[in-house]
Amino acid sequence: MTDVPFYLHSIEQEDIARAVEVLRSPFITTGSVTAEFESALARFLGVGHAVGLTNCTSALFLALKALGIGPGDEVITTPLSFVATANAILHTGAKPVFVDVDAGNGLLDAGRIEEAVTPRTKAILPVHLYGQMADMRRISEAADRHGLQVVEDAAHALEAARDGVRPGQLGTAACFSFYATKNITCGEGGAVAVRDGALSAKLKVARLHGLSSSAERRYSGGRYEHYDMEVLGYKCNMSDIQAALLLHQLEVVEARRARRAQIGKRYREAFSALDGVALIETPPNSTNACHLFTILVEPSRRDLVLRRIEARGVGVSVHYRPIHLMKYYRETFGFRPGMYPEAERIGAAAITLPLYPRLREEQISHVVESVRAALEG
């Protein structure tokens, strides 16, 4: 039986060589290689500035904090995401206010934002789920009408675009993940992209304890200089080892996206005619970053079908069981089933299949056959 792991990264000799080069150098944390990656990422996105961090959860948290969001504030977001999205809001002291998703594509429903706005609302936090961008034009129009910030969770969507707009081009900040299973990865890593230079400088101070910039110069310059601490910061600066692993992956990101798109097309063709399967819709005028390929099956059979696919040696996952139904959120905030029916319906029907450039032709065929057999059996 063909074994198909749920995910394999594409770290190659080239990436390893760059990381080794850093390891052989005298300075192995935030320095010139991180700066090189930040420039490359900003250029790739067409956004003024990027700040390298240890993960996307910290990126979301730092962005919200830098925008002054805290206790007493509300942030509108989607329940159909990884828990990190809403947890980052909670860590600032603010309250996540969930808005249900579009039934077809699972993205935060921009049409329902305004009914969730209160005098305490400070920001909207859309998630570009599966690699498809939320409707940033409508979201930023709503934000402008109510004087809100927009922080994008773009952990799935490095390569995405919609209506000619990319992550970070309309939002106040866009947050990226380079976690072990993301489109480019260094095991753990993240970044935040912003258009505003002053906000970028503030984030760079916040990622390193709140130390004055002279401290950063001290680290890279070699000559000792006193430093001061001007604000209370955190500790989530990207290291040059992480940055070295990402530089080459960013150079080949489009070729790898194209390969995932090709595999997604194969899946789409195979499953669109299949009884008992629905596919996630692609919004108009979109470039899909093709991060995850999720199928929707009858909720009452989901776990059975998932186990049957797994039994054929195919790795699967679920994106996502909604955040508001997690124990902590239910018990702390009193969320109940039925509050966000579209997110719950997708969460109960979803099965995510392997999607990465290293999948071989016979593995792709085996995934297709396994889904078919699992549904019939």
Ligand X SMILES: *Cc1c(COP(=O)(O)O)cnc(C)c1O
**Which residues in 294-353 contact ligand X (CB under 6 A)?**
none
User: CB of 330: closest distance to ligand X in angstroms?
Assistant: 20
- Distance in Å, CB of 274 to ligand X, minimum: 27
Q: Does 130 bind ligand X (CB under 6 A)?
A: no
Task: Tell which one of 56, 199, 263, 343 touches ligand X (CB under 6 A).
Answer: 56
204 included as an active-site residue: no
Among residues 9, 18, 156, 166, which is the contact residue for ligand X, using CB under 6 A? Answer: 156
Catalytic residue among 65, 122, 182, 204: 182
Helices and strands in the chain, H and E counts: 13, 12
Binding pattern for the stretch 180-219 against ligand X, x by CB under 6 A and - elsewhere = ----------x-----------------------------
In sequence order, the 6+-apart residues with CB closer than 8 A to the CB of 311 are: none
Residue with tokens 């420039």: 39
**Residues 239-278: x/- map of binding to ligand X (CB under 6 A)?**
----------------------------------------
**Residue 370 to residues 3, 294, 312, 326, Cα–Cα distance (Å):** 11, 15, 6, 30
Smaller CB distance to ligand X: residue 76 or 277?
Answer: 76
By beta-carbon proximity to ligand X, the closer residue of 56 and 133 is 56
Part in contact with ligand X (CB under 6 A); list of ranges 76-84, 132-140, 331-339, 362-370: 76-84
Task: Outline where DSSP puts E strands in the chain.
Answer: 49-53, 74-77, 95-98, 121-125, 149-153, 161-162, 173-177, 190-194, 277-279, 286-287, 293-297, 350-353
Site for ligand X in 217-236 (CB under 6 A): none
Q: Whose Cβ is closer to ligand X: residue 42's or residue 59's?
A: 59
Position 82 contacts ligand X (CB under 6 A) = yes
Q: What is the DSSP string of 246-315?
A: HHHHHHTHHHHHHHHHHHHHHHHHHHHTSTTEEEPPPPTTEE-----EEEEE-GGGHHHHHHHHHHTTB-
Q: Dihedral sign, CA of 203, 205, 209, 210? A: negative
For residues 341 and 328, give the distance between their C-alpha atoms in angstroms, rounded to a whole number: 19
Q: Which residues bind ligand X (CB under 6 A)?
A: 55-57, 81-82, 84-85, 127, 153, 155-156, 177, 179, 190
Catalytic residue numbers, as ranges: 182
